Structure 1
Amino acid sequence: MHPEACPCCGEAGLVPASALPRRGVLAAVLAGAGTLAAAPAWAQGATRSLRVRRQVTNDSFAGVYFRDGRYDREALRRLDYVFRDLSRAETTPMDPRLFDVMAAAALRLDSDETFEVVSGYRTPESNAVNANRSRRVSRVSLHMSGMAADCRLPGRSATQLARLASEMRLGGVGLYSRDGFVHLDCGPVRRW
């Protein structure tokens, strides 16, 4: 369930500067400035929409998830379902900044295509199983925090999507060209 106020949706989830040590205040200010500098032009208040379809189940979402300066809680719940861990049939509140990364990429690519989601949320158990099968799966994956998705954007190559996402510097980007998908997340900026 989504909290009534989270750092993404409202100020109540933010830590006051007075509660941070001096270095923590400086780090928070610099991190905030970096986030604003990297944020898409529409990030401050424009309507944001996304089109996604889960590759295996065909579950989908197409619509607005942010309007009037706030995330739409019902839209987020629907997106959580599309991005759920299929092997455990478990949902988690996805970080809405992931949807912002995906929407920004589609906007920059001038694409109205529907993202094909290969993998979204993973329970720690599902992630451990995947990591035991492949060295390419991180044991500390942001998939377990609801902050990552492996996806494709029809009409665009995985390389094209990964290159653009890397240029945007909104989070992590992994190119899996052999499998034809890109890992996008809203964590620290990095690429592989």
Structure 2
Amino acid sequence: MARMFHGLQCPCCDPVVAKRREVIRAGLGGLAALAALPAAAQAQAVASGARTIRIRRVQTGESFEGIYWRDGRYDRDALRRLDVLFRDPSMDETTPMDPRLFDVLFTIARHVRSDEFYEVISGYRAPETNAARARQSRRVSRVSLHMSGMAADVRLPGTQSLGIARAAADLQIGGVGLYRRDGFVHLDCGPARRW
């Protein structure tokens, strides 16, 4: 649903702009995602021929298991299903997730040799949800990549949070935040950094 600001429709929420953005993202996203990976991870992703992911959303129990990338491109239907899965459940609002986030999750799962379902605690956050969380905790960034569909807070059963964080940091494929006390790891497809 398009948002209104000062009586005008938000251009980012316009269905025509959103569709155009989706087509461009699907077409160029594969190249950008592959270029963002280190050489060893690139070779691994190319050699695999297809990329699969297993995700379960903690709050809703919904899940996705399957191929999201094949034959050199992202699967649009899989991406739409993942957008819904990663939605902000408190606002029931979706956004196009950055497919590079799924590449991060795929690469880390392969690196730690896990075929378990990722448990997603937080995916996309509407600005209102993020602002509310930032008021509750100083650990929540007011400019979080969750609001751009570029981040997820996850657990991977059978793998300690520290192991996931180390793997992501070693691979240098995005942002990594270890929340050991809360039992999850923040992963994103932004610049490589850690906290």
TM-score range, shorter chain: 0.7 to 0.9
Which of these residues, 132, 135, 142, is aligned with residue 132 of structure 1?
135
Correspondence list, 1:60-71, <5 A: 60-71=63-74
Contact 1:38 1:170 in 2 (8 A): no
Give the TM-score normalised by the residue count of structure 1.
0.84
CA RMSD of aligned residues (A): 2.2
Q: Which residue of 2 aligns with 1:40?
A: 42
Give the TM-score normalised by the residue count of structure 2.
0.83
Q: Which residue of 2 aligns with 1:187?
A: 190
For this pair of structures, how many residues does the alignment match? 174
- For the residues of structure 1 that align with 2:116 and 2:36, how far apart are their CA atoms? 29
Shift of 1:10: 1.8
Q: Which residue of 2 aligns with 1:84?
A: 87
Q: Which residue of 1 aligns with 2:13?
A: none
- For the residues of structure 2 that align with 1:4 and 1:81, how far apart are their CA atoms? 14
Does residue 5 of structure 1 match 2:5? no
Q: Which residue of 1 aligns with 2:4?
A: none
- For the residues of structure 1 that align with 2:92 and 2:111, how far apart are their CA atoms? 33
Q: Which of structure 1's runs of 4+ aligned residues deviate more than 4 A? A: 32-36
Three-state SS of the structure 2 residue aligned to 1:156 is coil
Shift of 1:105: 0.4
Contact 1:51 1:115 in 2 (8 A): yes
Three-state SS of the structure 2 residue aligned to 1:10 is helix
Does residue 144 of structure 1 match 2:147? yes
Residue identity opposite 1:144 in structure 2: M
Flag structure 2 segments of 5+ consecutive residues without an equivalent: 1-17
Call closer, same or farther: CA 1:138–1:100 in 2, change over 3 Å. same
1:94-138: per-residue Cα shift (whole Å, max 9, x none)? 000000000000011111000000000001111000000000000
Residue identity opposite 2:64 in structure 1: F
- For the residues of structure 2 that align with 1:119 and 1:81, how far apart are their CA atoms? 13
Shift of 1:6: 2.0
Task: Give % identity.
Answer: 61
- For the residues of structure 2 that align with 1:88 and 1:168, how far apart are their CA atoms? 34
Residue identity opposite 1:72 in structure 2: D
Q: Which residue of 1 aligns with 2:3?
A: none
- For the residues of structure 2 that align with 1:80 and 1:98, how far apart are their CA atoms? 11
Three-state SS of the structure 1 residue aligned to 2:64 is strand
Q: Which residue of 1 aligns with 2:60?
A: 57
Flag structure 1 segments of 5+ consecutive residues without an equivalent: 15-27
Call closer, same or farther: CA 1:94–1:189 in 2, change over 3 Å. same
Three-state SS of the structure 2 residue aligned to 1:136 is coil
- For the residues of structure 2 that align with 1:55 and 1:34, how far apart are their CA atoms? 29
